[in-house]
Structure 1
């Protein structure tokens, strides 16, 4: 913990040194060589080479004394004024930074070590004092969930903690940041629960680079291809398989479900999802598909998601709590006889408290 704090402090110091400077710093920097030249006076340097050659460097006052000291006075006043303006800017930015709060919600569930803290990776452009809130969804074994029922209250507890921090400040001075490494059902639930908390900046863990990243890449235009709606027969329950990072395979689905199947798949599963614009568009597609299923009489959607954490969170935030069908999001276990042994019934469609559904 001490090492993480020291690393964060060092990075913040470096950011301060290389922060964008105001115009007053540039003007003050220009004043210094001018003052040096004006105050240089007469000076002469002689150098003799091999006793035969003589080189002289010097300066003489070609500016009258009255004009010289007038110019010195002007540039000193400009320099001092720039210093005062810079100091006021610095104190004003400090006051703004101290007033603003950045509540950083970090979900932990897929590994036992704390790793690199999300709060230390929040971009410096998001101004404010960092307040870290841990959403701990770990259960002894690294990445394994033994008793999912005991994890459900943790999500609601975290939401209440975030609300308490937010209520202590003016809403316009509070920014929420979320990032996590948790199971798909718990991540989707976190998105549903935090849907009412306003705008949230979403970050994700880049496994290849082993760093937290913002969703600031360009939108590559990839969208879900929806298949199975036209052939679906009348049914109150339907499986909706969403393939964003990996393919949800038929043989895995058949180990657990015998229901009508609707698929939403990206054409290229290796395409980038580091765009918030793209993720919002994918979430809108899920909303539209769920709305079509509701119009066909579906009352429960059994949702199978293969996607990165930030995508699952964004999909959960976009799912309408009131007008869409009930939804159960399932956990995938590659080594199990049933590949989808349990799921979380989300607090939507009149259900106020989430619960575990076992298959």
Structure 2
């Protein structure tokens, strides 16, 4: 028995023991207990000996204690309660099935960094997320394993994913819909996906656990680790800045120098080996991210070159926090260690009046935003 199987068995047993029991279940059990008590084996307690200094005996039991007429009345009432609770349970079950039939779970899995199919996200969605599973494969793979060769070709599939979500939601109450996202895609494409899905209501984010080789919920404990922010003083009165976020690896200054020539603001976790498996922690990091962007906007920054070294779920959740109307223009860049220019391309996000995402190539000169069209 492997660890995943044992984990499933333990969780299932615990869920069964602590499961909520409805009122009809307690009524049924009480009626059965009453029938057993009045129709079960008779019992007698008898004591003979000294009582108050005098000899005597005490005897009591169930035999003949209750008249037959009362026994039959109690029996009829108990049977009626059992039948009523059974009908009640069936009605509850039927209503629950109708409710579950209305509930839908849209499972969006992004694939792009590896060519193999691997374990599907749909099969890893926990049973606690109820509803009919409808999966969508956001396939962002190209010819070379782990390398994006034509980033422009990958923008339409992301836009198509957004259209699919809108079509799938039609005719459904938002309270009946849940979206589950998990992916292994390039950072700019992950950020774009999160940005487009930011207003899709209840989204459950999962990530790939490389140690356990399985999809996992963000169910860890918050270790209270937060970004350390530096370089804000250098951004004053600047039109463009680089915002370098180091959450899993350090974004190196020498790598940034190959592509950018503007001031650098850094958001760095003090321990890059710390666990990212806490939704609460990621929410706090996203709040810090939004706070820095608001400050940059207040300082007059108009364009942000965003460089992220972070896990897929972190990138996705940061993107969901971006205010598309009120924050500066932003482009997110792809890191390629093997190239002389470490950030050869990026994607300008559809924010701040930019209607559609577009690719920025940095082959010649420092990275620059294209002129508005």
Q: TM-score, normalising length from structure 1?
A: 0.83
Q: CA RMSD in A?
A: 2.8
User: Are 1:324 and 2:324 matched, yes or no?
Assistant: no
Q: Which residue of 2 aligns with 1:207?
A: 210
Q: For residue 335 of structure 1, report the CA deviation from its aligned partner.
A: 2.5
Q: Which residue of 2 aligns with 1:182?
A: 185
Q: For residue 273 of structure 1, report the CA deviation from its aligned partner.
A: 2.4
Instruction: Count matched residues.
Output: 333
Paired with 1:182 and 1:20, the residues of 2 have a C-alpha distance of: 40
| Secondary structure, aligned partner of 1:103 | strand
Q: For residue 61 of structure 1, report the CA deviation from its aligned partner.
A: 5.0
Q: Which residue of 1 aligns with 2:195?
A: 192
When residues 37 and 115 of structure 1 are mapped into structure 2, their CA distance, relative to the original with a 3 A threshold, is farther
Specify which of 135, 157, 162 is matched with residue 159 of structure 1.
162
Paired with 2:113 and 2:27, the residues of 1 have a C-alpha distance of: 52
Q: Which residue of 2 aligns with 1:53?
A: none
In structure 1, the gaps of 5 or more residues are 1-6, 43-58
| Secondary structure, aligned partner of 1:197 | coil
Alignment of 1:210-225 (within 5 A): 210-225=213-228
Q: Which residue of 2 aligns with 1:344?
A: 347
Q: Which residue of 2 aligns with 1:171?
A: 174
Paired with 2:240 and 2:234, the residues of 1 have a C-alpha distance of: 15
User: Are 1:237 and 2:240 matched, yes or no?
Assistant: yes
Q: Deviations over 1:241-283 (max 9, x none)?
A: 1011211122322232232211111112222322333222222
Alignment of 1:85-164 (within 5 A): 85-164=88-167
Q: Which residue of 2 aligns with 1:265?
A: 268
Paired with 1:352 and 1:35, the residues of 2 have a C-alpha distance of: 72
Paired with 2:310 and 2:355, the residues of 1 have a C-alpha distance of: 26
| Secondary structure, aligned partner of 2:80 | helix
User: Are 1:252 and 2:284 matched, yes or no?
Assistant: no
Q: For residue 41 of structure 1, report the CA deviation from its aligned partner.
A: 6.3
Paired with 1:267 and 1:41, the residues of 2 have a C-alpha distance of: 71
Specify which of 275, 280, 303 is matched with residue 277 of structure 1.
280
2:177, 2:202 within 8 Å by CA — same for their partners in 1? no
User: Are 1:25 and 2:25 matched, yes or no?
Assistant: yes
Bigger mean CA offset, 32-41 vs 293-302: 32-41
2:235, 2:301 within 8 Å by CA — same for their partners in 1? no
Q: For residue 195 of structure 1, report the CA deviation from its aligned partner.
A: 2.2
Q: For residue 32 of structure 1, report the CA deviation from its aligned partner.
A: 4.0
Paired with 1:110 and 1:65, the residues of 2 have a C-alpha distance of: 78
Paired with 2:361 and 2:285, the residues of 1 have a C-alpha distance of: 28
1:227, 1:262 within 8 Å by CA — same for their partners in 2? yes
2:236, 2:299 within 8 Å by CA — same for their partners in 1? no
1:41, 1:61 within 8 Å by CA — same for their partners in 2? no
User: Are 1:80 and 2:74 matched, yes or no?
Assistant: no
Q: Which residue of 2 aligns with 1:51?
A: none
Q: Which residue of 2 aligns with 1:52?
A: none
When residues 326 and 170 of structure 1 are mapped into structure 2, their CA distance, relative to the original with a 3 A threshold, is same
User: Are 1:307 and 2:310 matched, yes or no?
Assistant: yes
Q: Which residue of 2 aligns with 1:4?
A: none
1:233, 1:260 within 8 Å by CA — same for their partners in 2? no
